[in-house]
């Protein structure tokens, strides 16, 4: 396949440059045109990314930047390509899904604003969602007078323009982060994805959305600042911010350790690991669902990407020192997130806690100093992206069609929305790690890595974490199955008797993802082919696959 | 069918089978499942025929492998699967797996035929057929895979299919529940909705799967392969593992998976609630798929472990654990079969108990010099159990269909109205009881007794006592079941039905034919049972010797047998206790439930000792309640506590508000220092300078 020149540059910057167009199109021509435009832009960019990934093992582009920071580059190697592909595939698919969901949301807000103007009473969002639960917003909207509907149309057009513009910038920020080749560039993209994220939550979230938006901005920005401190420590000591120039042996050990810790903590906030997870349930719960479906599967995992690229690759000695802490921290996050997910009644909050737990798996895998453990962790990112994407989309359909997200008010929906139910089950299986979904492929490779190191180091602690980690998968299964049971099975409450299946804009993207997770589960080579060689390169001390050799080598690799 | 022609093994010339057939056996059901939704757009009848047709195709491809396998041949075919890690996928069709595949395929096929009648009129038949085919495909994948990872795909596949089928009637209507609504055990309800039951089955077997995957990964770590052939071929991994003391743990962990899937103690409790599924599903789970998967896994792995003995690596503990788990389960579940009022649950207890027998035999095999004796006994019992249990379940399904209640107390006196079901249930029931000389169940059970008795293991005696005791109980509860259903006066429920104009009638043809066939086979094969067993024994002897290098020890001097000619070669002690157990069990059952000479309720209440035993058994030895308290109630309570007192206070309130407060407070502090009074600035400056100077001097 021929890759166009500047493929990665285009893939990253085209969405940014064209976002004003999306805004204008939305204003002038309405949400459908804006949606298809966004879809087309992202599809083109996705094709660029995928073809670049297929064409060569490593695709690099370098552009001159400032003297001070070094060069502005894009690098897509075995590590970055799965992240990049998942991010853009999800973004593209969710653009379609956004339309019905966001129109529903805009209409709701229009009514709410109208009501607060007339009555002068601030109607809380939660009461307005419950009031629409019996009658879908679309039905009431048609009943309103002609004047209001014209006003509503222009309102929806304006808002959808803004939405899709922000959406494009958000997607581009994520991709930029995983392709960056320079510390400062990484930081800039890292913050760029935060800003549209903040607006998307603050403008169209549920509940006290401004407060939650601010919380999102504040916590992740605080994390980013710590990250920046780590970057500056490294960059100023080395004298260059380019990844390629950074050599750990140049750094004094304490600086390396300190910056390693700073970077890990900074990224840990994004990853929402235990104790830093505070912002995540609020933000994922509140964000408009297509954005939740991007935040949770695609965005927070970028924290893990950061740890791979910046700690594992750039600071290997520090990594091997920190690894056991990451391992245990991951385990705690896994169990804690799972236990909290059991306690949730809000469907989206449950999924949010589940994401925390899944990020624990990623961190757990990163903490296993083993080729397959690291590969498994990256597979878990892919698989979590697909599975959690599916589940958040399910939640969105339920919000649109049923009007509530409280699990205790749901039940028996499988008969009413079969496609959604099937996709939700596939998503849940992916998260639970049941074959033939991709979840299993991630999981066994991940746990194999953990076991490999535990045996090689003959470490009691690692053996215990391995066992507990495996048992935590039963916990994951429990909360997922219980959620499915309460939402889709059991008796159908009477007021849900005329709930309908979601529109094709919503179900078709889900079916694509569901198909993808099964294909990947049976044929994981699609990603493993690139991931494993990269991980072998990063951890040269250990040979993948062959147990004996790995054991012998890893024995000396420990701190 | 599978086993009868085993006797002919040595007479057949070697016949080549196509390797594709071994793939097709499991690929066909999966592919068929995938296209079911498309076919489902046609009428329900067409969908049913198509599903049965696909099951037949799979069965035929399994059958085409049979001649090759009975001649002792083997097919091993591989393709590249995960290149990044160098893993191959493949099929291994050796005598063990081909016979198993045929048992699974043909019994599933009969159950599929039965289902066309049983599921008639259900709205969600497409979903039903999808999962049934998926179930069969997964099971065949387990049977024919040549490596553990691929087995695990099937393993989780049967778990998934059982989850979907147990909670098939997901609307949780009252009639689909199991248990009695008003019963409480240790404060917990003993009454389960289908969706709850499905979830319970999936999570409980997952606990086993977690152990299994740990074992798999351990072996992969040392061997660098998941393949069965490779594991046998080079045993360096085992030497290494054994030196580290990890060999037995690894295989015990793998056995953990079998404990979960085969519903062995202590993970047996899901099997009872699995009765919420349609009866065809119960038959499939109990006879052909799912619970047999665990036994098959042990049959797959057992020889690998035992063969290591030749290299001086002993793993007796593994076999001891297998044997004991089997023995405990056999007894524990058999006792519960005596008290339960629900017909399907009695059968479910019986399955768990019979699987316990198989495990016991496979375990004892590894402890004895004649590995092949116990191995054949266990596997032969698997085959005979598959036939009579499938038949019994399908018959029970007919009863449920006709009477509309799952309680045996709601039946009674049905023998005149359902003559065929009555006869078939006796035939299959006799198989389960081990009626002497005419049923397969007798021969296979006798083989197990003999294997345990002759094993020479230090545990032989206690295991043997348990085995015989279980046989007594088995005969008793089977008689009880038949007595309660077919004898005595009609229950109030049946009388009421008849008053309302519902006549009690025989089940439809598509339903009674399949269980009729199996019941007839139980007897028919039983008559030639001894030679069938000997054929299988011979086949496995060759198989174990050729594939694993397991040779039996030379037989000692033949015992001077007191038995008549046609029973030559049987162990007289085993034969005697088998006969005695059958007679005792059926006699007691006759007194209480057929002849009705004594009232069981009065007997139980006659003294406090019987009453207490009855209560403990009826409450499932409290095992279920204890599991729920420890692993459901307590963790939920703990999670709630953490959520309330840590997540919502320390994290949510503390950190979030803490940050806000801290920012506000720091603003105040900074504000406070901006006094604008030069003296205080100078003072602070001076103090700072002094501090720096002092620091420098030190």
List, for residues A11-25, the tens digit of each pLDDT value: 889 999 999 999 999
- Of B86, B217, B659, Cβ closest to residue A451: B217
CB burial of residue B542 (10 Å; 0-12, 13-18, 19+): middle
Q: Does the pLDDT of residue B614 top 70, yes or no?
A: yes
Window 616-635 of B: residues touching A by CB (8 A cutoff) are 635
| pLDDT tens digits along A220-235 | 888 899 999 999 988 8
Residues in B touching A488 (Cβ below 8 Å): 170
| pLDDT at residue number B153 | 92
Contact A125, A207 (CB under 8 A): yes
Is the CB of A474 less than 8 angstroms away from the CB of B639? no
Residue B675 has a CB neighbour count (10 Å cut-off) of 10
Assess A13–B contact: CB distance below 8 Å, yes or no: no
Q: Which two tokens mark A129? A: 């969602």
Q: Does the pLDDT of residue A139 top 80, yes or no?
A: no
- Of B84, B202, B656, Cβ closest to residue A477: B202
| pLDDT at residue number B324 | 93
Residues in B touching A545 (Cβ below 8 Å): 85-86, 224
**What average pLDDT does the structure give for chain A?**
85
CA distance B47 to B29: 14
pLDDT over 90, % of chain A: 40
Band (pLDDT 50/70/90 cuts) for residue B137 is very high
When comparing pLDDT for B499 and B676, which is higher? B499
CB burial of residue A491 (10 Å; 0-12, 13-18, 19+): middle
CB burial of residue B530 (10 Å; 0-12, 13-18, 19+): buried
CA distance B680 to B684: 6
Stretch A188-202: mean pLDDT, rounded? 90
Q: Which residue has the tokens 């599967």?
A: A297
Of B191, B254, B61, which is closest to residue B620 (Cα–Cα)? Answer: B191
Contact A405, A395 (CB under 8 A): yes
Asked whether the CA dihedral A179, A182, A183, A189 is positive or negative, the reply is: negative
Which helix (DSSP H) or strand (DSSP E) does residue B182 occupy? strand B178-185
Lowest mean pLDDT among A109-123, A508-522, B229-243, B317-331: A109-123
Q: Does the pLDDT of residue A452 top 60, yes or no?
A: yes
pLDDT over 70, % of chain A: 90
| pLDDT at residue number B351 | 92
Stretch B588-596: mean pLDDT, rounded? 87
CA distance B495 to B647: 59
Is the CB of A528 less than 8 angstroms away from the CB of B84? yes
| pLDDT at residue number B419 | 87
Of A399, A401, A395, which is closest to residue A500 (Cα–Cα)? Answer: A401
CA distance B266 to B61: 37
| A63 three-state secondary structure | strand
- Of A452, A481, A532, Cβ closest to residue B85: A532
Q: Does the pLDDT of residue A460 top 70, yes or no?
A: yes
Q: How far is the CA of B637 from the CAs of B43, B431, B633, in angstroms?
A: 49, 47, 6
Stretch A403-411: mean pLDDT, rounded? 88
Closest-CA residue in chain A for B657?
A: A215
Closest-CA residue in chain B for A493?
A: B171
Is the CB of A452 less than 8 angstroms away from the CB of B221? yes
Of A436, A441, A445, which is closest to residue A515 (Cα–Cα)? Answer: A436
| pLDDT at residue number B16 | 66
Band (pLDDT 50/70/90 cuts) for residue B350 is very high
Is the CB of A278 less than 8 angstroms away from the CB of B193? no
* Residue to test with chain A: of B29, B84, B650, most A Cβ within 10 A: B84
Is the CB of B221 less than 8 angstroms away from the CB of A343? no
- Of B84, B159, B193, Cβ closest to residue A529: B84
Window 222-251 of B: residues touching A by CB (8 A cutoff) are 222-224, 240, 244
Band (pLDDT 50/70/90 cuts) for residue A118 is low
Distance from CA of B127 to the nearest CA of A (A): 11
Helices A418-432 and A504-522: crossing angle, nearest 10°?
Answer: 30
Helix, strand, coil % over all residues of chain B, rounded to 5: 75, 5, 20
| pLDDT at residue number A131 | 42
What is the ipTM score, two decimals? 0.88
Band (pLDDT 50/70/90 cuts) for residue A543 is very low
Q: Does the pLDDT of residue B319 top 60, yes or no?
A: yes
| pLDDT at residue number B353 | 93
When comparing pLDDT for A163 and A144, which is higher? A163
Distance from CA of A275 to the nearest CA of B (A): 7
Stretch B536-552: mean pLDDT, rounded? 84
Assess A335–B contact: CB distance below 8 Å, yes or no: no
| pLDDT at residue number A541 | 56
CA distance B320 to B362: 10
Lowest mean pLDDT among A137-146, B91-100, B359-368, B444-453: A137-146
Is the CB of A545 less than 8 angstroms away from the CB of B85? yes
Is the CB of A524 less than 8 angstroms away from the CB of B82? yes
Band (pLDDT 50/70/90 cuts) for residue A272 is confident
CA distance B104 to B110: 10
Q: Does the pLDDT of residue B4 top 50, yes or no?
A: no
Contact B271, B263 (CB under 8 A): yes
Band (pLDDT 50/70/90 cuts) for residue B465 is very high
| pLDDT at residue number A558 | 32
Q: Does the pLDDT of residue B643 top 90, yes or no?
A: no
Of A135, A139, A127, A130, which is closest to residue A498 (Cα–Cα)? Answer: A135
Q: Does the pLDDT of residue B548 top 80, yes or no?
A: yes
| pLDDT at residue number B294 | 92
Window 161-190 of B: residues touching A by CB (8 A cutoff) are 163, 167, 170-172
Q: Does the pLDDT of residue A556 top 50, yes or no?
A: no
Is the CB of A466 less than 8 angstroms away from the CB of B206? no
CA distance A84 to A79: 9
CA distance A489 to B3: 42
CA distance A199 to A167: 10
Overall residue count recorded for chain A in this entry:
559
Is the CB of B82 less than 8 angstroms away from the CB of A436? no
| pLDDT at residue number B290 | 87
Helix, strand, coil % over all residues of chain A, rounded to 5: 80, 5, 20
Q: DSSP characters for A480-525?
A: HHHHHHHHHSSPPPGGGTT--PPPHHHHHHHHHHHHHHHHHHH-TH
Contact B440, B533 (CB under 8 A): no
CA distance B412 to B494: 8
Is the CB of A435 less than 8 angstroms away from the CB of B156? yes
Residues in A touching B218 (Cβ below 8 Å): 451, 455
- Of A340, A451, A533, Cβ closest to residue B218: A451
Could you tell me how many CB contacts below 8 A there are between chain A and chain B? 127
| pLDDT tens digits along A310-354 | 999 888 888 888 899 999 999 999 999 999 999 999 999 999 999
Window 114-153 of A: residues touching B by CB (8 A cutoff) are none
CA distance A476 to A336: 11
Contact B575, B443 (CB under 8 A): no
Q: Does the pLDDT of residue B208 top 80, yes or no?
A: yes
Contacts 24+ apart (CB under 8 A), A250-253: A251/A315, A253/A317
Residues in B touching A273 (Cβ below 8 Å): none
Contact B382, B302 (CB under 8 A): no
Contact B357, B448 (CB under 8 A): yes
Band (pLDDT 50/70/90 cuts) for residue A510 is very high
Stretch B369-380: mean pLDDT, rounded? 87
Stretch A552-559: mean pLDDT, rounded? 34
Band (pLDDT 50/70/90 cuts) for residue B38 is confident
| pLDDT at residue number A146 | 62
Contact A63, A31 (CB under 8 A): no
Question: In sequence order, what are the residues at sequence separation of 6 or more whose Cβ sits closer than 8 angstroms to the Cβ of residue A332?
Answer: A274, A360
Q: Does the pLDDT of residue A38 top 90, yes or no?
A: yes
Helix H, strand E, coil C: the string for B333-380 is: HHHHHCCCCEHHHHHHHHHHHHHHHHHHHHHHHHHCCCHHHHHHHHHH
Distance from CA of A528 to the nearest CA of B (A): 6
Window 266-325 of A: residues touching B by CB (8 A cutoff) are 275, 277-278
Lowest mean pLDDT among A328-337, B217-226, B306-315: B306-315
């Amino acid at each position: 396949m021929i890759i166009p020149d500047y493929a990665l540059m285009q893939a990253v910057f085209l969405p940014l440059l064209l976002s004003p167009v999306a805004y204008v199109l939305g204003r002038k021509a309405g949400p459908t045109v804006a949606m298809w435009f966004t879809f087309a832009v992202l599809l083109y960019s996705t094709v660029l990314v995928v073809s670049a990934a297929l064409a060569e093992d490593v695709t690099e582009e370098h552009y001159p930047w400032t003297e001070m920071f070094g060069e502005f580059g894009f690098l897509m190697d075995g590590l970055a390509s799965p992240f990049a592909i998942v991010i853009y595939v999800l973004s593209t698919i969710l653009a379609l899904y956004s339309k019905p969901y966001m129109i529903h949301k805009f209409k709701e807000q229009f009514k709410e604003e109208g009501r607060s103007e007339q009555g002068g009473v601030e109607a809380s969002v939660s009461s307005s969602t419950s009031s629409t639960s019996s009658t879908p917003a679309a039905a009431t909207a048609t009943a309103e007078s002609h004047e209001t509907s014209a006003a509503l149309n222009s309102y929806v057009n304006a808002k959808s323009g803004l939405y899709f513009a922000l959406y494009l910038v958000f997607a581009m920020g994520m991709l930029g982060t995983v392709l960056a080749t320079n510390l400062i560039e990484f930081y800039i993209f890292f913050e760029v994805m935060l800003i549209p994220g903040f607006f998307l939550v603050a403008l169209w979230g549920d509940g006290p959305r401004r407060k939650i938006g601010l919380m999102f901005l504040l916590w992740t920005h605080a994390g980013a600042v710590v990250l920046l401190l780590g970057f500056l420590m490294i960059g100023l000591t080395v004298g260059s911010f380019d990844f390629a120039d950074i050599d750990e042996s140049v750094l004094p050990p304490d600086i390396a350790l300190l910056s390693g810790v700073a970077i890990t903590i900074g990224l840990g906030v994004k990853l929402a690991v235990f104790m830093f997870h505070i912002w995540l349930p609020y933000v994922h719960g509140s964000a408009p669902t297509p954005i939740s479906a991007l935040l949770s599967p695609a965005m927070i995992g970028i924290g893990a990407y950061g740890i791979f690229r910046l700690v594992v690759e750039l600071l290997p000695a520090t990594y091997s020192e920190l690894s056991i802490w990451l391992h245990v921290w991951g385990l705690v996050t896994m169990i804690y997130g799972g236990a909290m997910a059991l306690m949730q009644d809000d469907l989206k909050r449950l999924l949010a806690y589940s994401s925390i737990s899944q990020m624990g798996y990623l961190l757990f895998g990163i903490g296993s100093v083993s080729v397959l453990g690291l590969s498994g962790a990256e597979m878990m990112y892919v698989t979590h992206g697909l599975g959690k994407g599916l589940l958040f989309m399910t939640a969105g359909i339920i919000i649109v069609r049923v009007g509530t997200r409280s699990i205790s008010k749901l039940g028996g929906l499988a008969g009413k929305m079969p496609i959604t139910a099937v996709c939700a089950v596939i998503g849940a299986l992916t998260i639970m790690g049941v074959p033939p979904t991709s979840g299993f492929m991630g999981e066994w490779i991940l746990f194999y890595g953990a076991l490999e190191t535990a045996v090689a180091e003959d470490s009691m602690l690692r053996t215990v974490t391995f066992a507990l980690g495996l048992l935590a998968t039963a916990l994951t299964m429990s909360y997922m199955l219980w959620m499915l049971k309460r939402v889709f099975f059991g008796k159908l409450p009477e007021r849900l008797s005329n709930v309908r299946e979601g529109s094709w804009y919503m179900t078709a993207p889900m079916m694509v993802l569901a198909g993808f997770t099964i294909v990947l589960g049976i044929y994981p080579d699609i990603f493993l082919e690139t991931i494993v060689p990269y991980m072998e390169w990063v951890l040269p001390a250990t040979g993948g696959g062959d147990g004996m050799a790995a054991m012998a080598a890893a024995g000396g690799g420990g701190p | 069918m599978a086993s009868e022609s085993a006797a002919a093994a040595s007479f057949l010339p070697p016949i080549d089978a196509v390797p594709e057939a071994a793939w097709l056996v499991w690929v066909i059901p999966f592919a068929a499942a995938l296209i079911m939704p498309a076919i489902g757009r046609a009428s329900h009848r067409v969908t049913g025929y198509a599903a049965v047709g696909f099951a037949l195709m799979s069965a035929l491809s399994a059958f085409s492998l049979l001649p090759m396998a009975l001649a002792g041949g083997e097919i091993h075919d591989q393709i590249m699967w995960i290149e990044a890690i160098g893993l191959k996928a493949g099929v291994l069709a050796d005598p063990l797996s081909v016979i198993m595949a045929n048992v699974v395929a043909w019994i599933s096929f009969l159950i599929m035929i039965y289902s066309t009648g049983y599921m008639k009129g259900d709205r969600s038949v497409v979903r039903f057929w999808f999962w049934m085919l998926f179930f069969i495909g997964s099971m065949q994948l387990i049977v024919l895979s040549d490596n553990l990872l691929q087995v695990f795909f099937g393993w989780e596949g049967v778990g998934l299919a059982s989850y979907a089928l147990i909670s098939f009637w997901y609307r949780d209507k009252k009639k689909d529940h199991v248990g009695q609504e008003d019963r409480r055990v240790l404060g917990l309800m003993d009454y389960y909705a289908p969706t709850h039951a499905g979830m319970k089955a999936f999570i409980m077997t997952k606990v086993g799967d977690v152990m299994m995957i740990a074992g798999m990964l351990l072996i992969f770590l040392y061997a660098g392969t998941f393949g069965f052939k490779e594991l046998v071929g080079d045993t360096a991994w085992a030497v290494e593992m054994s030196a580290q003391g990890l060999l037995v743990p690894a295989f015990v962990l793998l056995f953990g998976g079998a404990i979960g899937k085969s519903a062995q103690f202590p993970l047996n409790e899901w099997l009872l609630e699995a009765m919420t599924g349609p009866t065809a599903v119960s038959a499939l789970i109990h006879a052909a798929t799912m619970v047999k998967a665990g036994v098959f896994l042990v049959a797959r792995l057992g020889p690998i472990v035992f063969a290591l003995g030749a290299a001086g690596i002993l793993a007796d503990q593994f076999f001891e654990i297998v044997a004991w788990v089997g023995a405990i389960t056999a007894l524990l579940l058999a006792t519960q079969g005596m008290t339960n009022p629900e017909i399907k649950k009695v059968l479910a207890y019986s399955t768990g108990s019979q699987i316990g027998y198989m495990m016991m035999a496979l375990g004892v095999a590894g402890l004895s010099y004649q590995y092949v004796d116990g191995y054949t006994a266990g596997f032969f019992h698997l085959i005979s159990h598959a036939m009579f249990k499938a038949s019994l379940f399908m018959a029970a399904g007919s009863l449920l269909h006709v009477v509309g209640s799952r309680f045996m107390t709601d039946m009674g006196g049905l023998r005149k109205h359902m003559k065929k079901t009555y006869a078939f249930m006796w035939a299959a029931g006799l198989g389960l009881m081990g009626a002497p000389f005419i049923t397969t169940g007798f021969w296979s059970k006798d083989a197990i007794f003999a294997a345990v008795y002759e094993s020479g293991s230090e545990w032989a005696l206690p295991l043997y006592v348990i085995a015989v005791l279980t046989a007594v109980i088995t005969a008793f509860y089977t008689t009880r079941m038949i007595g309660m259903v077919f004898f005595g006066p009609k229950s109030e429920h049946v009388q009421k039905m008849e008053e309302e104009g519902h006549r009690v009638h025989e089940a439809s043809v598509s339903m009674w034919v399949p269980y009729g066939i199996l019941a007839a086979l139980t007897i028919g094969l039983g008559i030639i049972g001894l030679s069938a067993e000997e054929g299988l024994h011979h086949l496995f002897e060759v198989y174990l010797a050729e594939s694993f290098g397991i040779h039996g020890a030379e037989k000692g001097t033949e015992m001077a047998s007191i038995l008549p000619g046609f029973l030559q070669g049987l162990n007289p002690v085993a034969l005697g206790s088998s006969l005695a157990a059958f007679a005792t069990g059926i006699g007691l059952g006759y007194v209480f439930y057929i002849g009705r000479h004594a009232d069981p309720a009065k007997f139980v209440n006659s003294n406090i000792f019987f009453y207490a035993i009855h209560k403990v058994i009826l409450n499932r030895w409290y095992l279920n309640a204890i599991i729920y308290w420890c692993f459901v109630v307590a963790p939920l309570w703990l999670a709630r506590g953490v959520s309330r007192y840590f997540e919502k206070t320390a994290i949510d309130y503390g950190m979030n508000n803490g940050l806000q407060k801290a920012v506000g407070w720091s603003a105040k502090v900074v504000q406070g220092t901006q006094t604008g009074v030069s003296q205080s600035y100078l003072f602070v400056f001076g103090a700072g300078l002094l501090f720096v100077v002092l620091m420098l001097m030190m």
